[in-house]
């Protein structure tokens, strides 16, 4: 059926055997339809039974070598590609959809939003602008998010890939707004003195990465000390700004943390907003996961001041449970936001009518020109479940974190390593061990063994030099029993590890 003669490239007409990626006959369409139905069934069952599988397993050698095959030159067909997916891809996930996955800060996605992703892919909308429904959907979603977080309605915003990109857009607008020359056209090299940004030493690495990407330089990110709750010390911040002003450096921005990645700490955002106001600095908040807490009226007081931010970056693929990838940046000052990204190009001008009309050109509010229909999964999941469900889930996760804290406090062999501010719990096995090096080795081993056995996937971090087992809970599938399982297994593995250490010590100790 597929004629392999080359199409003519010299413009001579050849109307037979024109190619397309669509199925060729009604029969081919039926075959793809049947396969599609099977995929939907398989994926829904995969999600329904996620709890029965190990959290994670190592990618075996034959699967790894499978991915070194060269580009397929001839068609093998969708059914065959799907079989390979089932055999070599589906069984080896990162694990983040599992109820006992709490590594880094990962999201779980949801079955309904998965289906919405399929709808978005089918429409294949390019949401740069234009007169089509997807633009209105994204505008509506942005409006809902401002409302849900208590952020001013007049702010502009855009959906982006994630927190890193949201921080990038926020700091780019901050840089352009606060530099006293036209950075956008003249470039950062015109700076007479370095532009300085301040954040706490607990800030996410993406902030430094953004400083580098914007040409501001990570050395010009001042990492201010934190208090014992891991919140930025406002006095130290004020002092650091004064030092820079004395040096004739140019302070431009403070990045507040609404949920630090290590411990979930929330800076005193209200105090930071006031300080920024007094000092004439831009106030950006990195709320990648923590900002979501503002959707809950019970938790919102923890974030007081977030509504005063000049820009607010947050993720929807973390604590809003949306499938990867989707984050958001909101900017309080529409003019500054637009000025930072606006451009002229005759082939991209909007027209009053036709396809190029429409209410909003998102490409003038961010770096991307072509953009996918990320808004649909957010829109769909919010319609499907309602904001109240998301509020309840966020509160449930915080309650789970408190429950885990309580389990740890009531287990003598365990030790809490940081206050539980929100949804992150850092602890370690202690048992009878006293030596810090040994404790670090044992706790690292506990995390690895938990992951390798597929039992649970916390990650590890270092708190004041101590290796911590870190549970970051942005999972709508976890239940109380999952945390009991975690504690039981940490104690079991920790005891085994200490005993085997003890045994090897004894065998090394010369007979007295």
Ligand X SMILES: *Cc1c(COP(=O)(O)O)cnc(C)c1O
CB hemisphere CA count around 381 (13 angstroms): 23
Q: Which stretch binds ligand X (CB under 6 A): 40-48, 110-118, 159-167, 503-511?
A: 159-167
Report if residue 286 touches ligand X, rule: CB under 6 A.
Answer: yes
Chosen residue from 202, 315, 445, 482 binding ligand X by CB under 6 A: 315
| Residue number with CB closer to ligand X (160 or 331) | 160
Question: CB burial class (10 A; 0-12, 13-18, 19+) of residue 291?
Answer: buried
Question: Cβ of 189: how many Cβ atoms within 10 Å?
Answer: 7
Closest separation between CB of residue 511 and ligand X, Å? 53
Place of tokens 């030596």: 435
Question: CB burial class (10 A; 0-12, 13-18, 19+) of residue 30?
Answer: exposed
CB within 8 Å of 234: residues ≥ 6 apart = 268, 271, 272, 275
Closest separation between CB of residue 166 and ligand X, Å? 7
| Residue number with CB closer to ligand X (174 or 407) | 174
Q: One symbol per residue from 52 to 91: x for binding ligand X (CB under 6 A), - otherwise; what is it? A: ----------------------------------------
Closest separation between CB of residue 219 and ligand X, Å? 20
Q: One symbol per residue from 7 to 26: x for binding ligand X (CB under 6 A), - otherwise; what is it? A: --------------------
Report if residue 105 touches ligand X, rule: CB under 6 A.
Answer: yes
| Residue number with CB closer to ligand X (129 or 163) | 163
| Residue number with CB closer to ligand X (204 or 470) | 204
| Residue number with CB closer to ligand X (393 or 455) | 393
Report if residue 288 touches ligand X, rule: CB under 6 A.
Answer: yes
| Residue number with CB closer to ligand X (105 or 179) | 105
Q: Are 113 and 322 in contact (CB under 8 A)?
A: yes
- The count of chain residues that interact with ligand X, using the rule CB under 6 A, is 13
Chosen residue from 158, 208, 221, 261 binding ligand X by CB under 6 A: 261
Q: One symbol per residue from 436 to 475: x for binding ligand X (CB under 6 A), - otherwise; what is it? A: ----------------------------------------
Report if residue 289 touches ligand X, rule: CB under 6 A.
Answer: yes
Dist. CA 476–CA 108, nearest whole Å? 7
The side-by-side arrangement of strands in the sheet containing 414-416 is 101-102, 457-463, 466-472, 424-429, 414-416
Closest separation between CB of residue 327 and ligand X, Å? 5
Task: At 357, give phi and psi (nearest 5°).
Answer: -75, -140
Of the candidates 233, 284, 297, the residue with the CA atom closest to the CA atom of residue 256: 284
Question: CB burial class (10 A; 0-12, 13-18, 19+) of residue 274?
Answer: middle
Of the candidates 469, 470, 471, the residue with the CA atom closest to the CA atom of residue 497: 469
Closest separation between CB of residue 201 and ligand X, Å? 13
| Residue number with CB closer to ligand X (103 or 206) | 206
> What tokens appear for 139 in the block?
């505008």
Chosen residue from 95, 130, 251, 327 binding ligand X by CB under 6 A: 327
> What tokens appear for 23 in the block?
């199925």
| Residue number with CB closer to ligand X (129 or 305) | 305
Closest separation between CB of residue 2 and ligand X, Å? 42
Helix axes 234-246, 269-279, angle to 10 degrees: 20
Closest separation between CB of residue 400 and ligand X, Å? 18
Dist. CA 167–CA 256, nearest whole Å? 11
Helices and strands of the chain, counted as H and E runs: 15, 12
Q: Which stretch binds ligand X (CB under 6 A): 43-51, 93-101, 160-168, 338-346?
A: 160-168
Q: DSSP assignment, residue 7? A: P
Q: Where are the alpha helices (DSSP H) in 124-233?
A: 133-149, 163-178, 183-186, 205-213
Residues facing residue 292 across a β-bridge: none
Chosen residue from 108, 110, 156, 206 binding ligand X by CB under 6 A: 206
Dist. CA 160–CA 170, nearest whole Å? 11
| Residue number with CB closer to ligand X (105 or 240) | 105
| Residue number with CB closer to ligand X (263 or 361) | 263
Q: Which stretch binds ligand X (CB under 6 A): 35-43, 161-169, 438-446, 456-464?
A: 161-169
Closest separation between CB of residue 94 and ligand X, Å? 13
Interacting residues toward ligand X by CB under 6 A: 105, 162-164, 204, 206, 259, 261, 286, 288-289, 315, 327
């Amino acid at each position: 059926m597929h004629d392999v003669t080359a199409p003519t490239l010299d413009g001579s007409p050849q109307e037979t055997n024109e190619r397309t990626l669509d199925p060729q006959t009604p029969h081919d369409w039926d075959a793809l339809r049947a396969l599609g139905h099977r995929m939907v069934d398989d994926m829904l069952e995969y999600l329904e039974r996620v709890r029965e599988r190990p959290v994670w397993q190592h990618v075996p050698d034959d699967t790894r070598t499978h991915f070194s095959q060269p580009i397929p030159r001839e068609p093998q067909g969708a059914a065959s590609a799907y079989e390979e997916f089932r055999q070599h891809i589906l069984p080896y996930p990162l694990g983040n959809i599992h109820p006992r996955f709490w590594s880094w800060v990962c999201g779980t996605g949801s079955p309904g939003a998965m289906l919405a992703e399929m709808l978005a892919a089918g429409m294949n909308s390019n949401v740069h602008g234009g007169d089509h429904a997807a633009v209105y959907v994204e505008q509506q979603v942005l409006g809902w998010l401002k409302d849900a977080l208590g952020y001013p309605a007049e702010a502009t915003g855009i959906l982006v890939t994630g927190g890193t990109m949201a921080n990038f857009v926020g700091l780019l607008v901050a840089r352009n707004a606060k530099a006293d020359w036209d950075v956008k056209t003249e470039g950062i090299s015109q700076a007479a003195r370095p532009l300085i940004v301040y954040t706490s030493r607990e800030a996410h690495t993406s902030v430094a990465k953004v400083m580098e990407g914007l040409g501001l330089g990570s050395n010009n990110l001042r990492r201010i000390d934190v208090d014992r709750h891991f919140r930025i010390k406002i006095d130290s911040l004020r002092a650091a700004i004064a030092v820079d002003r004395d040096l004739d450096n140019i302070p431009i921005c403070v990045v507040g943390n609404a949920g630090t990645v290590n411990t979930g700490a929330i800076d005193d955002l209200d105090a930071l907003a006031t300080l920024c106001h007094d000092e004439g600095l831009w106030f950006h908040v990195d709320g990648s996961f923590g900002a979501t807490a503002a959707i809950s009226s019970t938790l919102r007081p923890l974030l007081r001041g977030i509504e005063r931010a000049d820009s607010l970056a947050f993720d929807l693929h973390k604590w809003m449970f949306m499938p990867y990838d989707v984050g958001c940046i909101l900017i309080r000052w529409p003019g500054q936001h637009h000025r930072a990204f606006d451009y002229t190009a005759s082939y991209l001008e909007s027209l009053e009518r036709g396809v190029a009309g429409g209410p909003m050109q998102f490409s003038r509010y961010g770096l991307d020109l072509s953009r996918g229909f990320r808004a649909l999964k957010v829109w769909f999941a919010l319609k499907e479940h309602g904001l109240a469900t998301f509020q309840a889930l966020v509160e449930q996760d915080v309650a789970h974190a408190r429950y885990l804290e309580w389990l740890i406090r009531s287990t003598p062999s365990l030790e809490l390593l940081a206050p539980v501010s929100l949804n992150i719990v850092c602890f370690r096995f202690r048992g009878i061990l006293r030596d810090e090096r040994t404790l670090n080795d044992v706790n690292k081993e506990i995390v690895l063994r938990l992951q390798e056995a597929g039992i649970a996937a916390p990650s590890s971090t270092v708190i004041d030099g101590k290796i911590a087992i870190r549970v970051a809970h942005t999972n709508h599938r976890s239940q109380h029993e999952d945390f009991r399982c975690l504690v039981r297994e940490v104690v079991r593995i920790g005891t085994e590890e200490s005993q085997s250490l003890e045994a090897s010590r004894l065998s090394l100790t010369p007979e007295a």
